């Protein structure tokens, strides 16, 4: 969607706290906060060229490869491709961090929503994959490169700690990725088990461990949910 230069001037005027909407697109995201723009159509607050169809979905690929408003990771830089991507994403997050809901209150709400969703799935004995969960929670898709900064990662850390402290089976065990024909939790889960239970589970034992954990989880939340 081409954005006219006239619009661009209006967008950059400061001190506007109310959302400005043109053709159904919020064009002054930089003046707003996460709650006013999440899941809405939003003009990129950095380049004013790109429209996010459901903020913040897709922000990381836009920042990594497309956004012209960023100063880092220029073509002329001598960094490797991956370094450029990392720098670009970092700059985007730094400049527009408030649009990602970094404050605790938002994350607490998100954590409660994730926990509710996972309990629902656990009681049915099911599993959910990372991206399905991210999309249900209206978060950007999970990729190999963004997991360490992803909202879900923060939420999982908190949930795991809570389950550990309350001596419950781990809810995050039902969030799986596909490995060959089996779906099991990813590396982060096994590291977490090591951290909280002091156990290293070898790859060949993971499917069994995972099945037992799921059974415990289902039983627990059927009784206490």
Q: Which is nearer to Zn ion, 50 or 156 (CB)?
A: 50
Give the nearest distance from C-beta 45 to Zn ion in angstroms. 8
Q: Which is nearer to Zn ion, 46 or 171 (CB)?
A: 46
Q: Which is nearer to Zn ion, 84 or 214 (CB)?
A: 84
Give the nearest distance from C-beta 83 to Zn ion in angstroms. 20
Give the nearest distance from C-beta 154 to Zn ion in angstroms. 24
Q: Which is nearer to Zn ion, 60 or 163 (CB)?
A: 60
How far apart are the C-alpha atoms of 10 and 135, rounded to whole Å?
Answer: 32
Give the nearest distance from C-beta 66 to Zn ion in angstroms. 7
Q: At what angle do helices 187-197 and 151-165 cross, to 10 degrees?
A: 30
Binding residues for Zn ion, per CB under 5 A?
44, 46-47, 50, 67
Q: Which is nearer to Zn ion, 50 or 100 (CB)?
A: 50
Q: Which is nearer to Zn ion, 55 or 210 (CB)?
A: 55
Give the nearest distance from C-beta 64 to Zn ion in angstroms. 11
In order, the DSSP letters of the chain are ----HHHHHHHH-S---S--EETTEE--GGGS-HHHHTTS-EE-TTTS--EESSTTTTHHHIIIII-TT--SS-TTS-S-HHHHHHHHHHHHHHHHGGGGT-SHHHHHHHHHHHHHHHHHHHHTT--EEHHHHHHHTT-PPP-TTTGGG-HHHHHHHHHHHHHHHTT---GGGGEEEEETTEEE--HHHHHHHHHHH-----GGGHHHHHHHHHHHHHHHHHHH-
């Amino acid at each position: 969607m081409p954005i006219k230069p006239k619009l661009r001037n209006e967008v950059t005027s400061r001190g506007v706290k109310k959302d400005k909407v043109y053709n159904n697109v919020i064009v002054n995201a930089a003046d707003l906060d996460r709650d006013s723009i999440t899941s809405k159509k939003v003009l990129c607050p950095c380049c004013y060229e790109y429209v996010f169809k459901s903020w913040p979905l897709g922000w990381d690929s836009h920042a990594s490869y497309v956004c012209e408003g960023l100063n880092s990771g220029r073509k002329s830089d001598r960094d490797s491709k991956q370094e450029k991507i990392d720098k670009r994403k970092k700059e985007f997050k730094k400049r527009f961090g408030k649009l990602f809901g970094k404050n605790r209150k938002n994350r607490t709400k998100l954590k409660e929503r994730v926990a509710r969703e996972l309990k629902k799935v656990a009681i049915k004995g099911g599993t959910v994959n990372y991206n399905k969960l991210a999309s249900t929670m209206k978060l950007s898709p999970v990729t190999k490169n963004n997991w360490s900064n992803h909202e879900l990662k923060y939420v999982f850390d908190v949930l795991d700690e809570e389950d550990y402290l309350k001596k419950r089976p781990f809810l995050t065990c039902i969030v799986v990725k596909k490995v060959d024909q089996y779906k099991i939790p990813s590396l982060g889960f096994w590291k977490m088990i090591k951290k909280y239970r002091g156990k290293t589970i070898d790859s060949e034992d993971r499917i069994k461990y995972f099945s037992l954990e799921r059974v415990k989880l289902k039983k627990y939340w059927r009784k206490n949910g």
